[in-house]
Structure formats: C-alpha cells, structure tokens
Structure 1
Amino acid sequence: MPPRHPASGDLDAIETASRDEITALQLQRLRSTLGRAYDLVPHYRQAFDAAGVQPADLKTLADLAKFPFTTKQDLRANYPF
C-alpha cells in the first residue's frame, strides 16, 4: 500500500464537512492570510489602514468587499512584496 500523504487526514475531514464548516474554515484561512499580509508587508498595512479595515474585520465573505483591491501597479510600485 502506498504511504498516505501527510495532509490526507485534513482532506478527509474537509470532504465530509458541512457547507457551513467549509465556509468557516475558508474564512479563517483567508483571515490568516490577510493577517500575515498586514503584519509583514508595509504596503498592505498602509492600504488596510487607509481603508479602515483590519484582518479581524473579515467575518463573512461580504466583508471582503471592504478590503482594498491590489492592482498590478501596486505590485510594481511595492516590489519586492
């Protein structure tokens, strides 16, 4: 039998999760990603502060609309991100 992938236990849990559980996990992971961007990238910290939002403000998918978009020009102007 081939060895199991290290993340296979996580995948099994996701495969049987309810839609609400999946949405909650996705929001948690997105909030974590936004938090890392806010904590580690000065451009994102400035953009979030200017928009008046914090990563913890993401409670529902609709809240994502409050966060500023990142454009190609933003990436060029703030390289390396």
Structure 2
Amino acid sequence: MRSRLVRRIAIVAAIRAGLVGTGWYATRAKPVAVLTARVEQGRIEVLNIHKGDQGKAGQVFLVLWNEDLVARGQRSNTNC
C-alpha cells in the first residue's frame, strides 16, 4: 500500500515538472537576431553593452573609431 502511494506521488510530481518545464520553454524570451561583422583591428570609441546586459532589437552595442575614414571619404567627395 505504501509503495503504491509513493509511486503515485512520484508520477504526479514528474507530470507536474514536465508541465512546468513545457510552460517555461513555451513562454521564454526569444533571442534577438544580431548583425555581426569581422574586424581585423581597430579601436572601440563607444561601448554600449556590458557582460550580463540584455540587448534590445536595433540597439548598437559598439562604435568603432573611424574619423580617418570619414575624413578620407569627405576629401574624395570634394575632389570629384
């Protein structure tokens, strides 16, 4: 009699655990797609995220220093 009760409690607990796990999996936050690019070298000018932070859609995580490229582009535009 006691072993039937223990077995029944174990089965009910396993079913509840499965339902809770399924509910958590179905309602968890979906990952945000991130656009990445490989950079061989460069300096980070602005860092907008830190370890453990959660990003949002459209958020810029870092900005590379590129004043030399901007100046070169402006110079080539004025020469045209």
Give your verdict on TM over 0.5. no
Structure 1 or 2: larger helix share? Answer: 1
Max Rg structure: 2
Structure 1 or 2: larger strand share? Answer: 2
